[in-house]
Structure 1
Amino acid sequence: MSAEPAAPDVPAVPAGAARPQALLLTLLGRHVLGRAVLVSQTSVSEVMARVGVSDPATRSVLLRMEKRGLLRRERRGRPVFLGLTPRSRELLADGQRRLWAAAAVSGHWDGAWTLLTFSLPEAWQRQRHQIRSRLQWAGFGMLQGGLWIAPSALDVGQVLAGVEGADRVRAFVARPGPDVDVPEMVRDAWDLAELRARYDEFLARWGDCGPAGAAGDALAAQLALTTDWLAVLRSDPRLPLEHLPADWPARRAQEVFRRWHAELDPPARAAAADILVTAPDLS
């Protein structure tokens, strides 16, 4: 194995609570998605160790992900290699879209809202949970009495694709009447204080880091940074800027993420190329 390229001054990985699975998905999304390769389990464990995840913990996460259909194993001689599945590719592609395809806040909103409601038999607890989880993932908030709303016109069919009970969902695209207090409606449907706290926590971990920060591991720092940022994005419905407080921290947090990601990317890619052992994916 060749000597690892010297890294510039990068921030030491902040003490965060990123789950091992989230870090592993970030690793796969950054360095495996879009490539026709398998990656060796041993080298994945080596990268995970750099972000503080032990080998037993990594093995446990890999096993759970395989059982959930997010990974497949393939032995090439003695080494075990890991490959993506259609389900994990879809999940990772969604993460990449959230990271790069949209701004943290919606500055170009046409004033429309998607409204939906559904009614399921009392015994359908699992289906109800799946529908609610998909709606929250897509940015919906519950306004009142089982009425869910989201900014802009969303493709509800795509959001709920494959979910049992989706045919019982009734969705509409509408605009509020002149007497509707939209900022109050937003506060009722989403916990803005909690959303702000997530951004503030991200900025507390990363916002004060700069080129003169403590020397650290570029690959580990980029994985932690991206995992933290994705966790924030996946909790944020991207509400219209005009209905958010003037000091809303999303744009500043996005600038911090993108600046640091770009700074860390060359040495992080070099380190990943040096550590990760790959093989052609022939499936």
Structure 2
Amino acid sequence: MSTTELFESAEVPTIDTSGTLGRSPWQLAWARLRRDRVALVCGAFIVLLGLVAAFAGPLSKLIGWSPTQQDRINGLTPDGLPAPPSVHHLLGTDNLGRDVLVRVIYGTRVSLAVGVAAAVAAVLIGVIVGLIAGYFGPAVDAIVSRLMDVVLSFPFLLFAIALVSVVGPSELVEIGVIAFFSWAAVGRIVRGQTLSIREKEYIEAARSLGASDRRIMFVDVLPNLVAPVLVYTTLLIPVSIVFEATLSYLGVGIIPPTPSWGNMISDAQDVYQQAWWFLLFPGIALIATTLAFNLLGDSVRDALDPRTERLFAK
């Protein structure tokens, strides 16, 4: 058999791309995300958290206690310690005889509101600043990059305590502090991506056709930043939630008696040996929430990665 006949008769392995032809990268990412069980479980858990936060009021009425109401009959033991879980209080009570379950539910509202708002604010600022730094040449890039370095050099807790001591603690102050310390990291990522994208051929073509800088930035460059920004936002939310819990734990966050997972953990530190439930349940809520967002962020990152072979899996 000749060499030509040998090559003609040989079987050529093929890759089945019938499921990917004619589909956009976003459709491929969504298809892969739907096949990711971890992403589905974490997404369902986050949706459940959102529903719990949204309906905290009706849920507290259903349970029969408000987050600040003290049970003077079954809320404390004869020794004055928190009451353990019982039919009266499913997750026990805190050091003032308040229902832990209701306070954890309201703490969910605070943590999600502050975490999501701070993350979105930080991403918006970081995207705008990073886009400007990466697009407008060395001079602007040098100035903005030094500004980001200055922001990243601030000690977070020291600045937060100093600011709160001046203006007073509130959710708005927490959101502002967390966003202030988070936007610079987003800006660095966006700046690096913009520096790479602005040298692409289609950007040069847009310039040669007379497109304005604003149009190139927001029509040609920004859409290509959506994927990394989306992934970073998903991963920034749990960081913001932990920041909120840290500030509340230190007493410079949410003002008591408004419940927060951080101030609940702080209140429990003196009695956790006798009342383990007081520390355990807000701690579990904090860990489970941050873990769910982190795992979902990892899944979104993998789904948007075009280099993986699993995009072509059936």
Specify which structure has the higher proportion of strand: 1
Question: Is this a same-fold pair by TM over 0.5?
Answer: no
User: Larger C-alpha radius of gyration, 1 or 2?
Assistant: 2
Normalising by structure 2, we get a TM-score of: 0.27
Query: Which structure carries more relative contact order (alpha carbon 8 Å, separation 6+)?
Result: 1
Question: Whose helix fraction is larger, Structure 1's or Structure 2's?
Answer: 2
